[in-house]
Amino acid sequence: MIRKWAFRAIVLYLLFGIAMYAYLFFFANTAVPEALRGTAVDPATFLNGRELMLSEDYSRIRNLLFFLATPYEWLFYFLILIFGVSATFERWANHTSKFYVIRSAIYLFWLSLTSFIIMFPLSYLSFTISKSYQISTQTFSGWMKDKLIDFWVSYGTMFVVITVLYFLIKKFPKRWWLAAWGLMIPFSIFMMFIQPVVIDPLYNDFYPLKDKELEAKILEMADKANIPAEHVYEVDMSTKTNSLNAYVNGIGSNSRIVLWDTTLERLSEEEILFIMAHEMGHYVEKHIYIGMAGYILLSLVGLWLTAKLMERWLARRGKEWKVEKMSSLSSLPAFLLITSVLLFAASPLTNMVSRYQESRADTYAIEMTQDKEAGIESFQSLTKAGLSQVNPPYLVKIFRYGHPTMLERIKKIKD
Ligand SMILES: [Zn+2]
C-alpha cells in the first residue's frame, strides 16, 4: 500500500515535470506582441543578439527549476511521512531525553538535516546555472557559507515556531490553530522588526551610502515625500551577483531603504533616483503594513484549513505511517506539506496584490521624478543585468511575478 502511494507520487511528479518542460520550452509564447515590436519594450532594441538568446535560455531554465523545486519539496515531505522516516526521527528524539524541548530540538535537527541534503542538488544546480550565465559571481565556498547560515537561521526559527506550535496542539487539540494564529501576529511583527538589523547582516555587509552627494539628493527626495530617513543603506552584493536591486524593509524605527552596490555601479544618477522614488512610493503608501495585514488574514484561513485537513488525513492514514496522533512531532511533515501546498495555491492571489502595489510605486516614481526616460532606461538595465524575460509565459507570471512584467512596466511609462 505504502509503496503504491510512493510510486503514484513519484510518477505524478515526473509527469508534472515533463508537462512544465513542454510548456516552458515549446508551447509558451514569449514574443513581444506585433504592435509593440521595435518600441522601448522590445528587448531587441536594447539587448544585443547574444544577450537576447541568453536571456531566453536562462529564464526558461530558471522558470523550470522554480516549478520543479516546490513539488519536489512536497514529494520529500510525503515520502518521509509514509515510509515512517519521520516516526523514526521522533523515536530517536524520545530515546534521548524526557524533556519536550530537547526532544523537539533533536527531531527538528534530523528533519532539517535530511531536508537540507535532499534539497541540496537542486539548489546547487541553480547556483551553477546562475554562474554559467555570469549572473552569480559567488565562489562555491561563499555560496556554501550562505547555505549554512540559511540552515541555522531556518533551524533556529523553526525550533521556536514548531516547539510552541506542538505545545499548543497538545494543550488545545481543537482550537490550536486559533491560538497559533494569535501568537503568530506578534512573532511576525517582531521578525520583521529585527530582519534588517539582525538577520540581513548575517549574509551581507550594510553601510550608509558612500557617495555622500547622491545620498544628499536621495534624502532631499525623501524629505519631499515626508519620509523620516537619516540614511540610505548600501549593501555589498557585487561579490555575489551581477544583478541589480533596491528595496525597503523593516518596520518602525528599523525601516530602511537599501541599494545594492551593483545598482550604484551600473546605473546613472537619474536612473538611481527613479528607483529610489519607486521605493519611496512603497513607503508612502504603507505597502509593508498592508502586506502584513493581508498575510495575517490569509494565515488565519490557512491555519484553520491546515487543522481540518491534517486531522482527517491523520485519522485515516496515521497508523500506516506510525504517526500516533496529531500532537506527535512526527506529524510535522504533514503540516509542512499542507501549508506549503496552500501557500503555493494562494501565490497567484498574493502575487497579484504585490504586482498591484509595484505598479502603484511605479506611478509614484513617474509623478515624483517627472523623468520618463530614466524610468524606461532603468527597467531596461534591470532586464539586461538579470537576463530576465520581458514577456514571461502566463503561468510564470501568475505564480512567480510579484512585480509586473518589464513589458507592462515599460509600456506604462511610455504611454
Ligand atoms: Zn517595488
Q: At what angle do helices 372-386 and 332-369 cross, to 10 degrees?
A: 150
Q: What is the DSSP string of 118-164?
A: HHHHHHHHHHHHHHHTT-B---HHHHHHHHHHHHHHHHHHHHHHHHH
Give the Å distance between the CA of 12 and the centre of ligand 1: 36
Q: What is the distance between the alpha carbons of residues 280 and 312, in angstroms, rounded to a whole number? A: 47
Q: Residue 111: what pLDDT?
A: 97
C-alpha cell at 109: 535537527
CB of 296 within 8 A of CB of 263?
no
The burial of 55, by beta-carbon neighbours within 10 Å (0-12 exposed, 13-18 middle, 19 or more buried), is given as: buried
Give the Å distance between the CA of 62 and the centre of ligand 1: 21
Give the Å distance between the CA of 75 and the centre of ligand 1: 33
The stretches in the chain having pLDDT less than 50 are none
Give the Å distance between the CA of 37 and the centre of ligand 1: 26
Task: Indicate if 279 belongs to the active site.
Answer: yes
- Residue range 240-299, pLDDT digits in tens: 998 899 888 888 888 888 999 999 999 999 999 999 999 999 988 999 889 989 999 999
Q: Residue 1: what pLDDT?
A: 83
Local structure of 259: helix, strand or coil: strand
Q: What is the distance between the alpha carbons of residues 120 and 35, in angstroms, rounded to a whole number? A: 44
Give the Å distance between the CA of 263 and the centre of ligand 1: 14
- Residue range 364-373, pLDDT digits in tens: 999 999 999 9
> Choosing from 271, 279, 358, 408, which is the catalytic residue?
279
Q: What is the distance between the alpha carbons of residues 242 and 258, in angstroms, rounded to a whole number? A: 16
Q: Kindly provide the residue ranges of all beta strands, DSSP E only, lying in 239-284, ordered along the sequence.
A: 246-249, 256-260
